[in-house]
A and B are shown apart, each in its own frame.
Chain A
Amino acid sequence: MEQDIHIDEALASIQKLVDNIETVIKGKRPQIQFILTALLAKGHILMEDNPGTGKTVMAKTLAQSISGRHNNAGVNFKRIQFTPDLLPMDLIGSHIFDDVQKEFVFKKGPLFCNVLLADEINRASPKVQSALLECMAENQITMGEITYPLEQLFFAIATQNPVEMEGTYPLPAAQLDRFFIKIIFGYVDEETELDIYNNYLGIADNLAHIQQVLSMEEILFLQNETEKVTIHPELVKAVRNLVWDTRRHSDITLGASTRSGITFLKCLKAFALVNGRTFVTENDLQIITAPVLDHRLIYRNRDAKASALASILNKEMDRLSKLKIG
C-alpha cells in the first residue's frame, strides 16, 4: 500500500511557491519545476546559460520566497558572488583571534545558511569550488579538526555561464556530480519576452516586494513527503538500465555513478510530487533524465553529447511503454 501522503497540503504548498515565483519569472514553468524538484529531493541545482537570462533573479526569487526578505522566519539565505580571487575561507569562514578569550574562535562563513546562491560559480578557481564539495554532499563543514554540521535545510543554487566563455573555470566532475540537477535556463519565447518588456517595471517591483510563502517547517515537511512517493520496481529497474547504458555506450567515456542513480531516484520522486502525483511515471523519467544525468557524463565528442543520452533514454522508454500489464 502506498504511504499516505498529505497530497493536498503538499500540492497547495507547491502551488503557492510556484505562483509566487511566477510573479517575477515569466514563462519558465519547467525550470521552476526542476528547481523545486532539486529542493524537494534535498539536493542542489546548477543553472547554466548566457548572462542576462534571469538565472540570478530566479535564484533570488526562490530564496526570498522561502526565506523572506528579512530572514526573520529562520530560513537563512546567503548570496555569494564568485570571482576569480575568491578564497575558500571566504566561504567557509576562518579562525579569528578573540581578544577577550585569548584564543582562536571559528568565525562561520556564508556557507552556514539554509539557502545558498552561488552566483557565477565557475568564475571562482577550482580550489574554491572544491570547498563546496563536502558541504553539498554531506551537509557539514570540516575546518581543521572540528566538523561543523550545517542546518537541516541546506539548498545550494548555483549559476554559471557556459564553459566556453572567457574567464571561467570548468567545474570538476566531482563537483558537478554534487548538483542533483543542471538546467539550461534558455531564453523565453517571443511573446513572453514582449510581455516582460512591457512590464519590466512591474516585475522589478514584484522582485523587490516578494514575500515569503513557505516556512522552513513547510519545506522540511515537503522534503519528508517526497520520500513517500511511490516508485514502481520497473521504473527503478529503468533507472538502473539507464545508468548502466551510459557506462556501456561507446560514445560516453565516463558514465553515471551509483550515486547518480540514487540521486536520479530522489529526483524522480520529487518531480512526481512537483507534478502533483504520488507515484512516478514514464513522463517523469522522460523529462528528468537529461537534467539529472547529462552534466555527469563525459562524451567523446559534440555529436555524442547531442544524441547519446537521448538514444539510451529512447530505448528504455520503448521498453517501458511496451510493458504488459493487466
Chain B
Amino acid sequence: MIVTRQLCCKYAGGYQGPLYNMQIGKVHSAKKVVAQLLLLALPTAALVWYVLFSINQYYQVLQNQWLQQGAYYLGGMVLAMLFYAYRFRFITTALLLFAVYYVAYKLLGKTAVGEFDTFFVSVQLLIFSILSGAGWITGYGFSRSRYFTIAWSVFLLAFQVLMVSKTDQVTANSLILAFAPVLFYSFYIIYTAELLRNMNEDEPGFGWFVGRRITGFTVLAVALLASLLLVFQKQFETIEKDWAGGKGSNKKDGAESMTKQNRDGSVSNKDQMRVTGSLSKDKRLVFVANLDNYFPNSTTPNPLYFTSLYYTKFDTLTQTFETDANMPANDLFKPDPSKIPLYFTKTDTSVIRNTNATLNRKVVSADIYKVILSPNEFIAPSTAFFIQPIPVEKEYASQFKSAYRTKMWVSDLNSAYFIYNPAGNKGLEQFQEQRFQQLRTATSYEGISSPFMDYYTFMPNNPEYQRIKNLSLNITKDAKTPVDKMVAIRNYFLSKDEFGQPKFKYSDNPGIPGLPSASKLNYFLFENRKGYCAYYAGATLFMLRSLGIPSRIAAGFLTVDRSSKNPGWYWFYADQAHAWVQLYFKGYGWIDFDTTVPDVNTQQSPQPDGTPPMNPQKPWLVADGEAVTVDTVTQRVTMKVKKLLYHDKDFETIVSKDMFMDVSLATITKDTGGARLSDIKPGTPIVSVSYAESVQEIEPAPLDTLGSIIAKLAKPVPIDAVKIMETAAEKKAKQQQTQAEAKPINWANALWMLLAAIGGFLLLLFWLPWLVWQYYNTRAKKSTANINQKAYRVYTASMYYLNQLGMQRHQQSPEQFANQMDIRFTSNFERFTAVYQQIKYSNRALSNQQQQVVHNFFAPFKQQVRSNLSFKTRFVRFLNIYNTLHYFTKPKTG
C-alpha cells in the first residue's frame, strides 16, 4: 500500500513537467492511474491473497507465505500498470523482465552455497518470478485490454474449480468459501474496469467518483468477508493451528506433524498425510494401552503398532495419500467412542468377513486410556470389531480422560517386522524367519476379486512412477513370493553403499521443498534418500504396487515403550505417530510391514512412568438416560433410565423409568476429563454405574423388566460413577461436523454442480440483455398512467431495443437518428421522437393527433424492425452483452 502510493506520487510528479511532450506521452492521466491502482490492483491483490491462502494449504512448497507471495503479485501488477500507463512497450519490457529473472537465477546458482540452500533459494526465486510475472501480465491486461477482465474472471473461476477438485471433502462450506469471493470479485472487476475505461478523469468530483465506489466496494467486501469469517471462523483457526503447530505463528520448521490438533486441544491422526519437508517432535503422552498379549509367553517383540486409518488412494497432483471410505473390502472399524454409553457395546463383524483372513487369526482384546487423544478417536491394532467404553478410576481421572475396551481379529504372524529390530539379533531373526516361511505359502493372488486387486495395485502411469517400477523390479529380481519381494525391498532400504554407509537415512526434516509437479518420492528414492516414515511407506507402497502386490499404507501409532513392571502396558507419545505398509496375503489377510530405517540420532521417547490405571471393577448396574432432578446439597440425582445393563443383561424400555440415586461417592467424568455434580443439569444425558455389593446381591429374575428391576433396588441406589454424555446440541453439532467430514465425495455430482453454476452464470450473462429488454418492453406496454410517462417508456424501450440490435445513436440528434431508422425500417420513429421531444422540453399540450402518434407507435415499430431483421441477426445481437454495457455506460469526453 505504502509502496504503491510512493510509486504513483513519483510518477505523477514526473508527469507535471513535460506537459506537452507527446513523445513519451501517457495513455492515462495520473488520476486514472491512481484510480486503476486503487480500484483494480488492490481488490485483485486482496483476491490473490485469498486464493494464495487456499493454495498454500495444498502445496507444501509454498510454505504458507501467502502474504509475501501476494505482495510479489501485487508488485508485478502495480509495476506493469505504471509502465503501461506511460506507454512502455510490452514486448521489450517483458523481455527485459525475464532477462532479469534469468540473470538472477544464474547468479544464485553461482553464489549460494550448499545443495539444499541452492535448491531452496532457487525454488523461492521461481515462486517469486512466477507470481510477479503473473502479476505483470494481469497488470498489463488491466491497462490495455478491454476484454481482459472477462478472460481473467473465467480463468479465476476455472482455477477455483481446479482447487476445489483438489480438496478431499466437497461440502457446501468449501464451495462457498472457494466461489463466493471469486464470483463477487468477478462481478466487481468487470463492472469497475468498464467504468474506469469509460469515465472522464477531468470531470469535477473525480475523487468523489472514485472514493464512492471504493467505499461501496469496501463495505460489500467487508460484509462478505465478515460473514464468511463468522461462519467459517473455526475452519480458519484450524488451518492456522494446523500450520503453526498450535502456536498461532508461522514457523518454518516442525510445522508439520503426523497428528492434527483438534479444536478442543486433543489430538488425532491426520486425515491426510502429506509427504512434507519436516516432522515435529512432540513428547506429549497421547494414550496408554493394555494389550492382551498376542503370544502366550509375552515375548511380543517391540514395537507395537496401533492403526487409526488406512491410506489407499494416492493423489498424484497433490502428492497426498488419501483415505477412501469406498475402498473395496472395507475392514476399517471406525466407531466414535464418545457416542457410546459406558459399558454399552458396539460391534461390527463385517470387518472380519471383509478381511477374508482365516489363517492364524484369533481375537485379542485391549484397553485404551486416552490422555490427549480426541474423545471421538478410535485407535486399535488392525481389524478391530468391538468397542466398549469403560470408566476411568477416580484416582486416574485427572490424567486419563476416557477409556474403552476393544477386540481385534489379529494374526499372530502380524507383528513388528524389520525395522527397529537391531540387526544381528539371532532370536528376532529366527522369529521373523519362521513367519516368513509361513507367508511364503501364499504365493499367488488367484481367486481374489479383480476390483480388489485393481484397486490395491493401482499406481499412476507416468515416467516418474515407471522409474520406481524399474527400481523395484531390479531389487526383487531374485525373489519369488510376495513376502520375499517385500524382504528384498526391506533389504534395499537397509543396504549400505560402497563406503559402508547406510544408503538411506532417517530424517525428520529432509528439507526438500520439492515442487508439487515433481514426484517427491522420486526425489527421495533417487537423490535425497532421507526421510521419515511417510517417505519410506509411500515409496514401499509404490514399489509393491508396481510388482502387482496389493498393498496400502496404515497410519497410527507405534511404540517401543513397553512397561517392564506392568506387562502388557504400552505408552504412546505424540511423536510416535507413524505410517507403514500393509500387504495382503491370500488367506492371511493384511499383514503389517515397516520399512522405515532406524533413526540413529534420536531417542524416540522418554521411558514411561510405569503406573498404569487400575482395571475397573465389574459393574453390576449401568443405567443410560438423562438427569431429571439434581440436588447438589444432599447429592441425590434422579434420572430417567432408557437402557439398563444389569448383571451383564441388557434391558430396554419404551417408557423410561425414573431412578433415584445417591451420588455422594460417585466419580463424575466427562469425555474431556473430570467434571462436578453441578455440571449435571436436568436433561443432561448421563450414564450411572454401580459396583456396590447391595446391588450385586439383588439378582435379576428371568421375567424382570427394566421397571421391575428399578423397583427392586434400594432407594436411593448407591452409584459409584457417573459419566456425562454429550448433550443433544453438542451431539448434533459434532454429528453435523463428522457427517460433513465423512461424506463420500461424489466427484461427478460435484463437477456437474460446478458446471451448472458456471453455466447458469454464463447463461444469465447472455440473457441479461434480453431480460433488460423484457423489462423495458413490459414497462412500455403496460404504461397507461399518463401520456408523458407512456412516451418516455416507449422511447426508452425503443432506444434500448435499437441499441441492442447494434444501432446506436452516435453523434446524431434524436430526430436525425430516428430519421435514419425510419429510412431503414419504414417506421414512424421520427414523428414519435418529435412528439417525445415536445413532451420533454415544452409544456404545450399535445394535440389529439400527437397523442395518437404516442399511442400507436410502439407495436408497429417493433413489427417493422422485426420484419427487416432476420431472427438470427436479432438473436446474435441480443447475446452481445457489450451492446448492453454500451447502453448503460456514460460516454467519455476523451
Q: Which residues of A are interface residues toward B (Cβ below 8 A)?
A: 1-2, 230-232, 234-235, 245, 248-251, 277-287, 307-308, 310-315, 317-319, 321-326
Partner of B813, one of A231, A286, A307: A286
B891 touches A311 (CB 8 A): yes
A315 touches B892 (CB 8 A): yes
The closest CB in chain A to the CB of B202 belongs to A248
B894 touches A307 (CB 8 A): yes
Stretch at the interface among B4-12, B700-708, B839-847: B839-847
Residues of B contacting A326 in the complex (Cβ-Cβ under 8 angstroms): 786, 788-793, 839
Residues of A contacting B799 in the complex (Cβ-Cβ under 8 angstroms): 321
Asked if A319 meets B890 with Cβ closer than 8 Å, knowing A283-B816, A313-B811, the reply is: yes
Known: A232-B841, A281-B840. 9 other contacts (CB 8 A): A2-B844, A230-B841, A231-B841, A235-B841, A308-B893, A311-B893, A321-B814, A323-B840, A325-B839
Answer yes or no: B809 CB below 8 A from chain A CBs.
yes
B812 touches A286 (CB 8 A): yes
Residues of B contacting A250 in the complex (Cβ-Cβ under 8 angstroms): 29, 202
| CB of A259 to closest CB in B, whole Å | 22
Q: Measured between alpha carbons, how far is A221 from B890 in the docked complex, in Å? A: 42
A317 touches B813 (CB 8 A): yes
| CB of A238 to closest CB in B, whole Å | 11
Interface centre among A1, A286, A326 (most CB of B within 10 A): A326
Residues of A contacting B200 in the complex (Cβ-Cβ under 8 angstroms): 315
Binary flags per residue of B760-801, CB closer than 8 Å to A gives 1, else 0: 000000000000000000000000001011111100100100
| CB of A4 to closest CB in B, whole Å | 11
| CB of B857 to closest CB in A, whole Å | 15
Q: Measured between alpha carbons, how far is A315 from B893 in the docked complex, in Å? A: 7
Q: Measured between alpha carbons, how far is A285 from B814 in the docked complex, in Å? A: 10
The closest CB in chain B to the CB of A231 belongs to B841
Q: Measured between alpha carbons, how far is A129 from B505 in the docked complex, in Å? A: 101
Residues of A contacting B29 in the complex (Cβ-Cβ under 8 angstroms): 250
| CB of A73 to closest CB in B, whole Å | 35
B841 touches A280 (CB 8 A): yes
B811 touches A314 (CB 8 A): yes
Scan residues 837-864 of chain B and give those whose CB is less than 8 A from a CB of chain A. 837-844
Asked if A232 meets B894 with Cβ closer than 8 Å, knowing A283-B814, A326-B793, the reply is: no
B840 touches A315 (CB 8 A): no
Can you identify 24 A-B contacts, CB atoms within 8 angstroms? A1-B843, A2-B842, A231-B841, A248-B203, A249-B893, A250-B29, A250-B202, A278-B844, A279-B841, A279-B842, A280-B841, A283-B816, A284-B813, A286-B812, A308-B893, A310-B811, A311-B891, A312-B893, A315-B200, A321-B814, A323-B840, A325-B792, A325-B840, A326-B791
Q: Measured between alpha carbons, how far is A214 from B469 in the docked complex, in Å? A: 108
Asked if A318 meets B891 with Cβ closer than 8 Å, knowing A283-B814, A283-B837, A326-B790, the reply is: yes
Residues of B contacting A287 in the complex (Cβ-Cβ under 8 angstroms): 813, 816
Answer yes or no: B810 CB below 8 A from chain A CBs.
yes
| CB of B697 to closest CB in A, whole Å | 94
The closest CB in chain B to the CB of A285 belongs to B813
Which of the four size classes fits the interface of chain B?
Answer: 35 or more
Residues of B contacting A323 in the complex (Cβ-Cβ under 8 angstroms): 840
Residues of A contacting B790 in the complex (Cβ-Cβ under 8 angstroms): 326
| CB of A78 to closest CB in B, whole Å | 36
Q: Measured between alpha carbons, how far is A307 from B844 in the docked complex, in Å? A: 36
Determine the main DSSP class of A at the interface with B: helix
| CB of A320 to closest CB in B, whole Å | 9
Asked if A321 meets B793 with Cβ closer than 8 Å, knowing A278-B842, A315-B892, the reply is: no
Binary flags per residue of B289-324, CB closer than 8 Å to A gives 1, else 0: 000000000000000000000000000000000000
Question: How many contacting A-B pairs (Cβ < 8 A)?
Answer: 102
B793 touches A286 (CB 8 A): no
Binary flags per residue of B192-203, CB closer than 8 Å to A gives 1, else 0: 000000001011
Answer yes or no: B822 CB below 8 A from chain A CBs.
no
A249 touches B202 (CB 8 A): yes
Residues of B contacting A278 in the complex (Cβ-Cβ under 8 angstroms): 842, 844
Q: Measured between alpha carbons, how far is A107 from B390 in the docked complex, in Å? A: 132
Asked if A283 meets B813 with Cβ closer than 8 Å, knowing A311-B893, A315-B890, A326-B792, the reply is: yes
Q: Measured between alpha carbons, how far is A238 from B557 in the docked complex, in Å? A: 81
Q: Measured between alpha carbons, how far is A280 from B202 in the docked complex, in Å? A: 29
A315 touches B891 (CB 8 A): yes
Asked if A2 meets B843 with Cβ closer than 8 Å, knowing A249-B893, A283-B816, A325-B792, the reply is: yes
Q: Measured between alpha carbons, how far is A317 from B814 in the docked complex, in Å? A: 9
The closest CB in chain A to the CB of B783 belongs to A326
| CB of B679 to closest CB in A, whole Å | 67
Answer yes or no: B815 CB below 8 A from chain A CBs.
yes
A314 touches B843 (CB 8 A): no
| CB of B685 to closest CB in A, whole Å | 65
The closest CB in chain A to the CB of B201 belongs to A250
Asked if A308 meets B894 with Cβ closer than 8 Å, knowing A326-B786, A326-B790, the reply is: yes
- Please name the 8 residue pairs, one residue from A and one from B, whose CB atoms are nearest each other, closest first: A286-B813, A326-B789, A279-B842, A326-B788, A281-B837, A283-B813, A232-B841, A326-B792
Asked if A279 meets B844 with Cβ closer than 8 Å, knowing A248-B202, A313-B811, A325-B839, the reply is: yes
Partner of B788, one of A235, A282, A325: A325
Asked if A283 meets B815 with Cβ closer than 8 Å, knowing A250-B202, A312-B893, A326-B788, the reply is: yes
A324 touches B792 (CB 8 A): yes
A314 touches B837 (CB 8 A): no
Residues of A contacting B812 in the complex (Cβ-Cβ under 8 angstroms): 286
Residues of A contacting B203 in the complex (Cβ-Cβ under 8 angstroms): 248
The closest CB in chain A to the CB of B791 belongs to A326
| CB of B612 to closest CB in A, whole Å | 84
A230 touches B842 (CB 8 A): yes
Q: Measured between alpha carbons, how far is A285 from B816 in the docked complex, in Å? A: 12
Residues of B contacting A277 in the complex (Cβ-Cβ under 8 angstroms): 838, 842
Residues of A contacting B841 in the complex (Cβ-Cβ under 8 angstroms): 230-232, 234-235, 279-282
A311 touches B842 (CB 8 A): no
B894 touches A251 (CB 8 A): yes
A279 touches B813 (CB 8 A): no
A314 touches B839 (CB 8 A): no
A232 touches B840 (CB 8 A): yes
Asked if A279 meets B838 with Cβ closer than 8 Å, knowing A2-B844, A321-B814, A326-B793, the reply is: yes
The closest CB in chain B to the CB of A275 belongs to B815
Binary flags per residue of B868-894, CB closer than 8 Å to A gives 1, else 0: 000000000000000000000011111
Q: Measured between alpha carbons, how far is A91 from B765 in the docked complex, in Å? A: 69
Residues of A contacting B834 in the complex (Cβ-Cβ under 8 angstroms): 281
Q: Measured between alpha carbons, how far is A283 from B834 in the docked complex, in Å? A: 9
Residues of B contacting A322 in the complex (Cβ-Cβ under 8 angstroms): 796
Asked if A282 meets B892 with Cβ closer than 8 Å, knowing A1-B843, A324-B792, the reply is: no
Q: Measured between alpha carbons, how far is A203 from B796 in the docked complex, in Å? A: 47
The closest CB in chain A to the CB of B796 belongs to A322
| CB of A324 to closest CB in B, whole Å | 7
Residues of B contacting A325 in the complex (Cβ-Cβ under 8 angstroms): 788-789, 791-792, 839-840
Q: Measured between alpha carbons, how far is A235 from B202 in the docked complex, in Å? A: 22
Residues of A contacting B791 in the complex (Cβ-Cβ under 8 angstroms): 325-326
The closest CB in chain A to the CB of B813 belongs to A286
A314 touches B813 (CB 8 A): no
Q: Measured between alpha carbons, how far is A235 from B809 in the docked complex, in Å? A: 19
Q: Measured between alpha carbons, how far is A281 from B204 in the docked complex, in Å? A: 26
The closest CB in chain B to the CB of A307 belongs to B894
Residues of A contacting B891 in the complex (Cβ-Cβ under 8 angstroms): 311, 314-315, 318
Residues of A contacting B814 in the complex (Cβ-Cβ under 8 angstroms): 281-283, 286, 321
The closest CB in chain A to the CB of B20 belongs to A300
A311 touches B789 (CB 8 A): no
B893 touches A282 (CB 8 A): no
Q: Measured between alpha carbons, how far is A237 from B812 in the docked complex, in Å? A: 20
Residues of B contacting A248 in the complex (Cβ-Cβ under 8 angstroms): 202-204
Residues of A contacting B202 in the complex (Cβ-Cβ under 8 angstroms): 248-250
B809 touches A321 (CB 8 A): yes
Q: Measured between alpha carbons, how far is A284 from B816 in the docked complex, in Å? A: 11
Binary flags per residue of B825-845, CB closer than 8 Å to A gives 1, else 0: 000000000100111111110
The closest CB in chain B to the CB of A284 belongs to B813
Residues of A contacting B811 in the complex (Cβ-Cβ under 8 angstroms): 286, 310, 313-314
